[in-house]
Structure 1
């Protein structure tokens, strides 16, 4: 049985504001972070990864796109044209899962690329929401060569398969300056 990790630390990689190193126990893997690097004052659309300690809440998996990782988390199935995430700060469902089509701005979880084939929901602005403080801050799959994210932390699919068994509800992803 895999050991559970309570704390996953993300540090910026030397010399590259949008690249990081994720550490979980003895595991060290490269990761992508926000195009604006990290920020202690996260705002919607700023492209920054929040400097914070965020609880792992749950995960989403897209069947048929990648093997479902083993994790001690609630994992929901992503449904095409159904599952979305609201990123409209003025809407009551801001930074929440929504059913598509949705009347306000919302991102589809069934993306054409592979980013959300497995996505871990982090408690950034969820349990205690503030309008405009940022939405959809996830741990998800990275694109080839780790280009910047919009504010999430992203790892290679093979690294997600290694990391997922270490995650449990309440584990923390700690992003450092």
Structure 2
């Protein structure tokens, strides 16, 4: 997988009123003065992460932003719309992912996922 390392100045913008909405932006100023809502990207949960390709082309403000596959904070900890796995599983996934094969992420109950293969 091609990758990009974060810096202390990297943010994902989820301010629906910003032209930067649902984009990775590097900014060295005070982000609170530029955006109403953002996520700092250099955090432990994003040590290894994959951007889910949702609402990143023809971006529609309010449709959803900052959706990632990343490291969980624990097996019983939720996210705010992302998918999170252990660091061990994240590393396995990163080694397996091949962008040339156009991977997709599907989430649902086990019975629903099993029904897709019938």
Task: List aligned pairs for 1:8-47, cutoff 5 A.
Answer: none
* Rg (Cα) greater in structure: 2
State the match for 2:49 in structure 1. Answer: 119
TM-score, normalised with respect to structure 1 = 0.54
Cα 1:142–1:171 shift into 2, 3 Å: same
State the match for 2:17 in structure 1. Answer: 90
SS at match of 1:161: helix
Q: Does 2:81 correspond to 1:154? A: no
Q: Does 2:94 correspond to 1:167? A: no
State the match for 1:74 in structure 2. Answer: 2
Q: Does 2:65 correspond to 1:135? A: yes
Structure with more of its chain in helix, by fraction:
2
TM-superposed CA distance for 1:168, in Å, is: 2.0
Residue correspondences, number: 102
State the match for 2:115 in structure 1. Answer: none
TM-score, normalised with respect to structure 2 = 0.79
State the match for 1:144 in structure 2. Answer: 74
Q: CA RMSD in A?
A: 1.4
Higher relative contact order (CA 8 A, sep 6+): 1
Runs of 4+ in 1 over 4 A off after TM superposition: none
Runs of at least 5 residues in structure 1 that lack an aligned partner in the other structure: 1-72
Runs of at least 5 residues in structure 2 that lack an aligned partner in the other structure: 110-118
Structure with more of its chain in strand, by fraction:
1
